Amino acid sequence: MSKIKEMTLIALLSAILTISKEILAFLPNIELVSFLLILFARHFKLAHSLLIATIFCFLQIVLYGFGDWSIMYFIMWNGLVLISYHTKNIFKNEYQLALFSGAFGLVFGMFFSFFYLIFSFEAALAYWLKGLFFDLIHGVGNYLIMLVLYEKTDKYIGEIFKDL
C-alpha cells in the first residue's frame, strides 16, 4: 500500500474513533473507541495503531480543551493499543476479548485517579469511588460491544488491513 493510502487510512480511522465517541456521547461511558482500538491493534502495524490512538487523543483536546484528563488519555488509549497488540495471540475469541475489553473499562477511571495522588491518597480514592458507577457501565458496555460486534467487524477490518 502506498504511503498516501496509508496516511489517508490512519487519518480516516482516527476520525472514525472521534466520530463514534461523539455520536455515543449521550450515553455515559458507552463508546466504540476501546473496541475499535483493540481491533486496529490486532490487524494493523503497532506504530500505525499507536498513531491512530494519538491522533484521537489530540482531536479530543481540540474538541474539549486541555484538562487533567488529557495526559491520561494518551497513556490509557496508547496503553490499550500496546496491550492489545502484544496479546493478540493470547486473546483468540470474542469471549476472551470481551473480558479483556470489559476489564479495561473497569480500570479506566482507577488509572485517572492516580493524578490525584499528588494531593493525597484520600483524594485519589475519593475521585475513583466517585466514578466507580461509571467505570462499571464502561466495563459492561465494553464487554457487550465486543461480544455483539466482534465477529463481523473483525473480519471486515482484517480485509481492510490485509495489504498493510
Domain CATH for 15: 1.10.1760
pLDDT score, position 5: 87
Q: Kindly state the average pLDDT of the residues 26-45.
A: 95
pLDDT at 21 (0 to 100):
97
pLDDT tens-digit profile of 91-144? 989 999 999 999 999 999 999 898 889 999 999 999 999 999 999 999 999 999
Count of structural domains within the chain: 1
Q: What is the pLDDT of residues 76-91, one digit of tens each?
A: 999 999 999 999 999 9
Please report the pLDDT score of residue 163 as a whole number.
66
Long-range contacts of 81-85 (CB under 8 A, 24+ apart): 81/37, 81/40, 81/41, 81/46, 81/49, 81/50, 81/52, 81/53, 82/41, 82/46, 82/50, 84/37, 84/38, 84/41, 84/42, 84/49, 85/41, 85/42, 85/46, 85/49
pLDDT at 161: 73
- Is residue 158 predicted with pLDDT exceeding 90? no
pTM, full prediction: 0.93
pLDDT greater than 80 at residue 25: yes
Query: Which residues span the domain enclosing 131?
Result: 3-161
